[in-house]
Amino acid sequence: MEVTRTFSIIKPDATRRNLTGAVTRMLEEAGLRVVASKRIHMSQDQAEGFYAVHRERPFFNDLVSFMISGPVVVQVLEGEDAVKRNRDIMGATNPDNAEPGTIRKELAESIEANSVHGSDSDENAATEIAYFFKEEEIVG
């Protein structure tokens, strides 16, 4: 299988509870490698731009407020079939529906404060990585 990249965010509910390491460990144990990582506090413009595809969804404003409520850790993850591998270890959007052993089942607080973001396709992964990282910041 091909080694690919995906984009991850450790969300404010997780950084607030000091779970950056716990989340990263679960990603690594799932066969993903952190090839770029930085802790940032997103601006409103940055968060609105990142979630632009969700602009018409009823939860958009709350989601943006949540994402700028504290620091996040943005990461580039590398591994075999990285997008799917990451989505599998993340678990379902709503932690109540997530499988045991997934990040969201084990760590998330709610459907909104669900601890992690992960790209949903190779194409979106490339766009999202470029939104936060320069190529020279990614070291595989």
Q: Which residues are catalytic?
A: 117
Edge-to-edge, what's the strand order for the sheet holding 3-10?
Answer: 33-40, 72-80, 3-10, 116-118
Q: How far is the CB of 26 from ligand IDP (least distance, A)?
A: 16
Structural contact between residues 72 and 19, judged by C-beta atoms closer than 8 angstroms: no
Q: Which residues contact 4 (CB under 8 A, 6 or more apart)?
A: 78, 79, 80, 81, 82, 83, 122, 125
Residue 3's DSSP bridge partners are 80
Is 121 a binding residue for ligand IDP by CB under 6 A? The answer is no
x-or-dash string of contact with ligand IDP, 90-109, rule CB under 6 A: ---x----------------
Is 15 a binding residue for ligand IDP by CB under 6 A? The answer is no
Binding to ligand IDP in span 44-73, by CB under 6 A: 54, 59, 63
Q: Of the two residues 59 and 131, which places its CB atom closer to ligand IDP in the complex?
A: 59
Closest residue to ligand IDP using C-beta atoms: 93
Q: In the set 22, 34, 111, 138, which binds ligand IDP (CB under 6 A)?
A: 111
Residues that bind ligand IDP (CB under 6 A): 54, 59, 63, 93, 111-112, 114, 117, 120
